[in-house]
Structure 1
Amino acid sequence: MTEALSSLAEAFKNVGVSRAYGTPVKVVGEELIPVALVSFGFGGGGNSEAEGADAAGLESVAGGGGGGFVLPLGVYCRNGSGHVAFRPNMIALIGTLVPLVCAVGFTARGILRTLRR
């Protein structure tokens, strides 16, 4: 189990700002720097002294898993004159706002129902 955790720690050692900001790319005279929201997590566990482990012939039980996601937020662009601007990814913005708008709507509905009583 210790080897697995150390290998996971080594794999995620360089994760940080370099994952959120991509390498600059030149497109039609503009320099684009991609920006993303990066999230990941992992975990594991085990029990070497489980009840009945000796009877079943098992010495230890262990498991683990992980996952993550990347949400492209947009790009920073720099044109030939050096002007820098952020251009959001509208599809990701709308996709992120839909659950927020639904949550606000359900909350407002609950508050209005409570006030009517």
Structure 2
Amino acid sequence: MTQLVEKVTEPLKRLGVDASYGAPVEIDGATIVPVALVWFGFGGGNGNMGAKSDADAEGEGFGGGGVSVPIGAYVTTSLGVRFQPNLIALLAVGIPFVLVAGHVLAKLVKAAKK
């Protein structure tokens, strides 16, 4: 099991900045560096804790997953560097936040009136 975990996690050592920022791309004299929010998680397992039933039960296990949300890009031109957000990702993240904030604000106003 230890070798399996080492084999799976070895490529993850380069994650971090490499996963959050893409390779620079040159388009029409502008340099574009894509940016993403990246997170991931992993699990593990083992088994056979002295089992004397269920046909001497054994075990193993492993799992993992991750998400990458493109949030925009840094654009470098002769005028300077600016961050250009991905409006679709901004809406996807922002709409639930606004709904929750509105719900909480409505509850606070209702509580203040009492």
Same fold (TM over 0.5): yes
Give the corresponding residue for 2:55. Answer: 57
Q: Distance in 2 between matches of 1:113 and 1:16?
A: 44
Aligned length: 114
* TM superposition shift of 1:31: 1.0
**Matched letter for residue 4 of structure 1:** L
Q: Distance in 2 between matches of 1:18 and 1:102?
A: 33
* 1:49-79: CA deviation from partner (whole Å, max 9, x where unpaired): 16xx332223422222111111111111112
Q: Distance in 2 between matches of 1:13 and 1:110?
A: 45
Q: Distance in 2 between matches of 1:6 and 1:44?
A: 12
RMSD (Å) for aligned C-alpha atoms: 1.7
Percent identical residues = 37
Q: Distance in 2 between matches of 1:48 and 1:40?
A: 28
1:55 aligned counterpart, secondary structure: coil
Q: Distance in 2 between matches of 1:34 and 1:58?
A: 52
* TM superposition shift of 1:112: 2.6
**Matched letter for residue 76 of structure 2:** R
Structure 2 runs not aligned, ≥5 long: none
Does residue 1:70 correspond to 2:68, yes or no? yes
**Correspondent of 1:98 among 92, 95, 99:** 95
Scaled by the length of structure 1, the TM-score of the pair is 0.85
Give the corresponding residue for 1:9. Answer: 9
Structure 1 runs not aligned, ≥5 long: none
Q: Distance in 1 between matches of 2:106 and 2:13?
A: 45
* 1:24-59: CA deviation from partner (whole Å, max 9, x where unpaired): 111122111111111111111223216xx3322234
Does residue 1:46 correspond to 2:46, yes or no? yes
Q: Distance in 2 between matches of 1:106 and 1:99?
A: 11
